[in-house]
Amino acid sequence: MTICYRKTYCEYLRRYETRLFRRNGLACTASQQESANGKNHNPLAHSNLSGGPEEDRTPDLRIANAALSQLSYRPADSDLYYQKFAKQVKQRGGIDMGCVCRSALDSMAETHAAKDETVALQALKWHDGALRIIDQTLLPGELRWIELRTRADVWEAIKVLRIRGAPAIGVCAAFGVLVGLKERAPKNLDAAVAAALETADYLATARPTAVNLFWALDHMRTAARDARNVGSVAVFERCLEDAARAICDGEIAACRAIGDHGAPLIREGCGVLTHCNAGGLATVEYGTALAPIYRAHEAGRRFHVFADETRPLLQGSRLTAWELMHGGVAVTVICDNMAAQVMREGKVDLVIVGADRIAANGDTANKIGTYGVAVLARAHSIPFYVAAPASTFDLSLRTGDAIPIEQRDPAEVTHFHGVVSAPEGVEAYNPAFDVTPAEYIAGFITEKGILHPPFDEALGGY
């Protein structure tokens, strides 16, 4: 999950400019020092970059400042930011300040990551052969990373929602195949292939609805079979790691593209309602339904998000509100049964939700309660959009009637975090998802663009 907020943006520019001066052997002026101390909140209003006694000595810094003013910066994009910065400096006739720029970016990223990990936070990480995830059952009260050391750990994490959201589940399962392979420690290639395939089959039983889980595991099975003659177990493992990384990188790129395509839907001053959590926590990074929101926010647009709390596990209030607050996005939590009133009051202009599986005709399975939101949106003439990558479309299913709906433990309805909320012994019904008919959906925001009805035709390329 990559989160950008303007306070961070300003602080990064202040630190950046300070480090540029230090690397060039120049002393900070009073305005620069004030800015470094947080007194000057305009990162570009430094006299030593726009004029004054050092103007003749620092033409490249003035060029750098002009370049900075043309860019928007998010910490996770340091490489892209550096490339754009260098291009801007070159276009303005400046010298190559690449080493200065990269050093400043790296130092700032390390400093800020140590202060606040949420600036560039991902739902999971694969590093040095280890799979670590944020335990989302503890949020928002505690941000804790846990390591999944066995395939049983991965299965359990998916099952009990330590990691959740269709794209994130798929990526976690892909790396989970590697976890299972390392756990089995096969001595030869035949044993390695068998271990990978068995782990994939096992992880596929964790949850039934999110199609990304099966999509990712199918890719890992194919990678395992294609690598059965690579020569050694070590090379086989590297092949599977490359496959899992490709799945992860693909999901991140798709979410960013979804944000770019969906952001224009969010106009200045509008109200956006979302259900459950389809942000970075659900997609490894950035999100699906929240991606357009982040991109619109980064563009400087002012708007307000209403987050349904999303009973029974409160993913909206626990996770979506937490993400958006850390991202500096204006958000209000509402109970699920308040959505109709908020719409009636004219506070909602647009609904964007995520998806767990989309059938060939456009019928969409998403977190329980989504169907009701779609019906309310139709009743109030509010456009209802679904944001999802191509990996969420299941064209093997003609309609949503064929989508399997997960039935979860009734205790999730009668209890919450150990607190009893219903009479002991009462029966409870707990489907985790519902299916919104395609007729209620204004469009699908995908990495390829926005698809509009009729969906039978629009989805032909997926």
pLDDT tens track for 104-127: 554 444 444 333 333 345 899 999
Q: Is the pLDDT of residue 16 over 60?
A: no
Burial 363-377 (b: 16+ CB within 10 A, else e): bbbbbbbbbbbbebb
% helix / strand / coil in the chain, to the nearest 5?
50, 15, 35
| CA distances for 114 relative to 107, 121, 261, angstroms | 11, 12, 33
Active-site choice (77, 308, 356, 434): 356
**pLDDT of 45:** 36
Tally of domains within the chain: 3
pLDDT at 90: 59
Same domain, residue pair 332 and 355: yes
Q: Which residue has the tokens 């975090």?
A: 417
| Percentage of the residues of the chain whose pLDDT score is greater than 90 | 70
Clarify whether residues 317 and 438 are in a common domain.
Answer: yes
Tell me, what's the pLDDT at 462? 67
CA–centroid distance for 396 within its chain: 27
Q: Say what the pLDDT of residue 7 is.
A: 38
User: For 12, phi and psi rounded to 5 degrees?
Assistant: -65, -40
Which segment of 46-55, 168-177, 317-326, 416-425 scores lowest on mean pLDDT? 46-55
Q: Using pLDDT thresholds of 50, 70 and 90, give the confidence band for residue 64.
A: low
Q: What's the mean pLDDT when you consider all of the chain?
A: 83
pLDDT classification of 10: cutoffs 50, 70, 90: very low
Residues 245 and 261 in one domain: no
Q: Which of 110-119, 128-137, 151-160 has the weakest average pLDDT? A: 110-119
For residues 130 and 112, membership in a common domain is answered with: no
Q: What is the CA radius of gyration of the chain?
A: 24
What is the Cα–Cα distance from 219 to 225, expressed in whole angstroms?
A: 10
pLDDT at residue 282 in the model: 95
Taking the complete model, does pTM exceed 0.85, yes or no? no
Which neighbouring-strand residues pair with 308?
Answer: 334
pLDDT for 460 equals 78
Looking at the structure, tell me whether residues 158 and 297 fall in a common domain: no
356 is catalytic: yes
Same domain, 81 and 131: no
Q: Over 50: is that where the pLDDT of 41 sits?
A: no
Domain stops at, among 84, 119, 154: 119
Question: Are 291 and 258 spatial neighbours (Cβ–Cβ below 8 Å)?
Answer: yes
Would residue 109 count as lying in a domain?
A: yes
In a domain, 230, yes or no: yes
- Residue 204 is predicted with a pLDDT of 97
1 within a domain of the structure (yes/no)? no
- Dump pLDDT digits (tens) for 294-330: 999 999 999 999 999 999 999 999 999 999 998 899 9
Mean pLDDT, residues 364-377 = 98
Cα–Cα nearest to 364, from 445, 264, 282: 445
In this structure, the answer to whether residues 285 and 358 fall within a common structural domain is yes
pLDDT at 349: 98
Report the CATH number that the domain containing residue 407 is assigned in CATH.
3.40.50.10470
Give the mean pLDDT of 421-447: 97
Whole domain around residue 395: which residue ranges?
257-461
- Last residue within a domain, chosen from 119, 137, 154: 119
**pLDDT above 70 (res 184):** yes
pLDDT above 90: residue 136: yes
290 lies in the same domain as 393? yes
Instruction: Write the pLDDT tens digit of every residue in 207-258.
Output: 999 999 999 999 999 999 999 999 899 999 999 999 999 999 999 999 999 9
- Position 31 pLDDT exceeds 50: no
Do 160 and 202 sit in the same domain of this protein?
yes
Domain annotation covers residue 168: yes
Decide which of 207, 226, 251 is a domain's last residue: 251
- Indicate whether 265 and 404 sit together in one domain: yes
Residue 84's pLDDT band (cuts 50, 70, 90): low
397 and 261 in a common domain: yes
Q: Does the pLDDT of residue 266 top 90, yes or no? A: yes
pLDDT of residue 111: 42
Residues 240 and 388 in one domain: no
**Position 433 pLDDT exceeds 70:** yes
Average pLDDT over residues 132-156: 96
